[in-house]
Structure 1
């Protein structure tokens, strides 16, 4: 991993940890495998920190540009299963 996670400097230390955990779970999905419940638990916490859909899309896009991993299809698959 040679990139930075999209973060907000106004978040608390715990919120930063939780958002990094969410993006780590997405990476894990692509690189190994992640359980649907693990994905949805991390996403639920991410949504508590980033409730705005437009902000969510911005962070997802920044993550995709930095990592090459798309977030939305992973969330959609986990929700559908």
Structure 2
């Protein structure tokens, strides 16, 4: 996992920031080493409790992809369609 800044909103609480960062870490892990699909999708659901709007999710996705090279959208789509317990991009 590289050393770069995550797209976070300064209005989020500490707990909300933790949920978003945990999800972004799952995206990184899915692209680098693979993760459990169920764990990834649970992490996404927690992420959505903080980032409720599609527009905000897309903005964060663009900013995250710019700094990391990993797409939240493509990783999420792979997690949803996989039939295996684990998946890797």
TM-score (norm 1): 0.95
Distance 2:17 2:68 in 1: 18
Structure-2 separation of matches of 1:70 and 1:78: 12
Shift of 1:41: 0.6
Structure richer in strand, relative to its length: 2
Runs of 4+ deviating beyond 2 Å = none
Which deviates the most, 71-80 or 55-64?
71-80
Report which of the two has the higher share of helix. Answer: 1
Larger gyration radius, structure 1 or structure 2: 2
Corresponding residue pairs, total? 81
- Secondary structure of the equivalent of 1:22? helix
Matches within 5 A, 1:1-81: 1-81=2-82
Q: TM-score, normalized by length of structure 2?
A: 0.87
- For structure 2, the 5+ residue unaligned runs are 83-89
| Structure 1: tracts of 5 or more residues without a match | none
